[in-house]
Structure 1
């Protein structure tokens, strides 16, 4: 079972439906025991970083997500969920994140359209099981803030939006995608499928 973690913020339905379309059982859940028992977990997110972290703390799920990550089972953060994996964010003040990956989240700066919204090319810059038999292409982004990983080796893919922008990060069985794989056509679903394959629990 794949747990889609419900902490009150996120496109839970579209993510869970994408998981099911790929042949896996998905459960949208905020139950700690169910999350910790899952074969893989997804942390989605839409909204503000500070509000998301407050919800995670208030529901007790901050500890659960950290415990899950420490278990070594596959965990994927999507969009805001990816940003939450980092140490801190400057969105509407300074907020501490989950600190599962060292780095910070900053606002786009420049005379160009913000938020970054639409289809952009991926460029793979690291090696990952997510990329097995996958060719780069266009995926769908919607964000005003972007992550700056401290460790070069945690950066797996970038896109260009007036500057190189972190698109995929990963270390061990922990991954993050700034774009929405569930809204990114064939390429997005292929990348999500590669993540799900790491759980080795395909059904159907």
Structure 2
């Protein structure tokens, strides 16, 4: 379903685990699980001072981000223990360069991605008050 939407240029939004499943694989308790493979990378247990990561954090919004337009300095609500700590994809051929947003919670991890019609957040915009409403509105305005 996701492949069909993306090929047709239709927008897709993943939230929390919805971001995590888009990656190639996940590692949980030494068990490797295949993801949907839409994005390169591995979801793994975060090396952070306290897990699960529950609460409000700022993000380092990607330059030119459409999702974070007007809310670059806001805080968003997170609930997770796993994340993507490494990002290596820049651009492939005519592929649209991804916009990667980071959060630092004792370790840096990907907190949002924008890759053409595919967007995803590790945090919960639906639980992030006015900033979350603005982010979802920004996403709706991208298509």
Conserved in 1, the CA contact under 8 Å of 2:12 and 2:119? yes
- CA distance in 2 between partners of 1:86 and 1:149 (Å): 11
Task: Give 5+ residue unaligned stretches, structure 1.
Answer: 1-63, 200-204
Please give the TM-score of this superposition, normalised by the length of structure 2: 0.86
- CA distance in 1 between partners of 2:33 and 2:55 (Å): 27
- CA distance in 1 between partners of 2:138 and 2:22 (Å): 20
Please give the TM-score of this superposition, normalised by the length of structure 1: 0.61
In the TM superposition, residue 173 of structure 1 has moved relative to its aligned partner by 1.1
- 1:151-170 pair list within 5 angstroms: 151-152=89-90, 154-170=98-114
Q: How many residues align?
A: 135
- 1:77-116 pair list within 5 angstroms: 77-92=14-29, 93-110=31-48, 112-116=49-53
In the alignment, which residue of structure 2 is the partner of 1:145? 82
- CA distance in 2 between partners of 1:98 and 1:173 (Å): 16
Task: Give 5+ residue unaligned stretches, structure 2.
Answer: 91-96
The structure richer in strand per residue is: 2
Please say which structure displays the higher CA radius of gyration: 1
Conserved in 1, the CA contact under 8 Å of 2:64 and 2:99? no
Q: What root-mean-square deviation, in Å, do the aligned CA atoms of Structure 1 and Structure 2 show? A: 1.6
**In structure 2, the residue corresponding to 1:129 is in which secondary structure?**
coil
Conserved in 1, the CA contact under 8 Å of 2:61 and 2:101? yes
